[in-house]
Amino acid sequence: MKRTRTMALVALGAAASLALSACSQSGGKKAEERATADGPRLTIAMVTHSGPGDAFWDIVQKGAQAAAAKHGAKFLYSADPDGGKQAQLVQSAIDKKVDGIIVTFAKPDALKDVVGRAVSAGIPVVSINSGADVSAQYGAIAHFGQDETVAGEAAGRELAKIGAKKALCVIHEQGNVGLEDRCAGARKTFGGQMQDLFVQGTNMPQVKSSISAKLQADRDIDGVLTLNAAVAATAVDSVKESGSKAKVATFDLNKDLVALMKAGSVQFAVDQQPYLQGYEAVDEVWLYRTNGNVLGGGRPVLTGPAIVSKDDAARIETYADRGTR
C-alpha cells in the first residue's frame, strides 16, 4: 500500500514537471513573439565609395554589424569607388525596399538624384564619412563623420610641431572631395610648403614608386602626410627605399599603423573613429524607424578628429588588434 502511494506521488510529480515545462516553453514562445512585435526586424543597407581591400571600411562595417546585431537588424553592405556605380548600388537598395540606407558622399554629384529617389520612396537616408556639407541638402536625416577641413587643419598644425618644413600631401583617390578638403586644411595651418601628390590608392606598387620618385627628386621634402593608413605604411617603405629623412604622418588607423607608430615610423594619426561612424549610423536608422528620433539636430555629428601619437598607441593597441580602431 505504501509502495503504491509512493509511486502515485512520483507520477504526480512527473506530471507537474511536464506541465511546468510546457508552460515554460509556451511562455518562451510568447516572449519571442512579443519581442518580434515590439521591435520589427529591419533591413539596413550601407553603400560606400570604398575600393577593394580598404581596411578602413572593414572597421566601419564592424561597427555597423555590432549595432545591427544589437537591434536584431539585417545589415547589407556594398561599395564601389566609381560614383556612377555607387549610385547604381543605392538604386538596388531602393529596389529591395530596405528600411534605411547609409551612404557616403565622396562624389556627391553622382549620388544626388538617387538619394532623392530614396527619400521620395520614404526610405530614411543617413550619411557617413564624407559629404557633411551636402547631407541635409540631399535629404539625409543625419550625418556621422569628421569635418574634413577641420581635421586637415589639425594635421597641418601637428606636422609643423614635428619640425616639417616642406611636405607632400598624398591623395589616394582623385575626385574625392573629402580628401581634397583634408589637404587644403593642412596646407592652411602648416606654415611651410605643401604640395598635393595624386596616386592610385588601389595600386600600392604605383603608390610606392610615386612617393619614392618625389622624395628622390627633392631631398628638401621632410614630411609626408597620407590620408589612409595603408598608404602611410607604403610611404614608410618609400622613405626607406629613397634614403629620405622625411617624417610620415597620416589620417586613419588600423592594426599595422599602430605598430608603425609604436616603432616610431609614423609620427601621428588623425583618427575619425570609423567604428563609431558605422555603429551610430545603424543606431540612427533603428531609432528613426522605431521611435522617430533624429540625432544631431540638423547638424553633423562629429566622430573626430582625434590626434593619436606614439604615446597613445599602447593605449589603443588592444582595440586595433581586434579590428575596431
Domain that holds residue 230: 149-271
**Band (38; pLDDT cuts 50, 70, 90):** low
CATH number at 298 reads 3.40.50.2300
| Whether 60 and 123 share a structural domain | yes
Assigned domain for 96 exists: yes
Question: Do 196 and 130 sit in the same domain of this protein?
Answer: no
Q: Provide the number of structural domains found in the chain.
A: 2
316: in domain: no
Write the secondary structure of 144-178 as one string of H (helix), E (strand) and C (coil).
EEECHHHHHHHHHHHHHHCCCCEEEEEECCCCCHH
Is residue 137 located within the same domain as residue 182? Answer: no
Same structural domain, 155 and 228: yes
292: confidence class by pLDDT, cuts 50, 70, 90:
very high
Same domain, 132 and 155: no
In this structure, what C-alpha cell is assigned to residue 162?
614635428
Same domain, 219 and 294: no
Residue 112 lies in a domain: yes
Does residue 132 fall inside a structural domain? yes
Residue 225 counted as domain residue = yes
User: Does residue 4 lie within any of the structural domains?
Assistant: no
Same domain as 184, residue 115: no
Residue 253 is assigned to a structural domain of this protein: yes
Over residues 158-181, the pLDDT tens digits come to 999 999 999 999 999 988 989 999
Surface-to-core class of residue 123, CB atoms within 10 Å of its CB (0-12 exposed, 13-18 middle, 19+ buried): buried
Q: What 8-state DSSP symbol labels residue 325?
A: -
Domain assignment present for residue 313? The answer is: no
| Rounded-to-integer distance, Cα 159 and Cα 53, Å | 28
Cα–Cα distance measured from residue 263 to residue 260, given in angstroms and rounded to the nearest whole number:
5
Per-residue pLDDT of 225-244, as tens digits, reads: 999 999 999 999 999 999 99
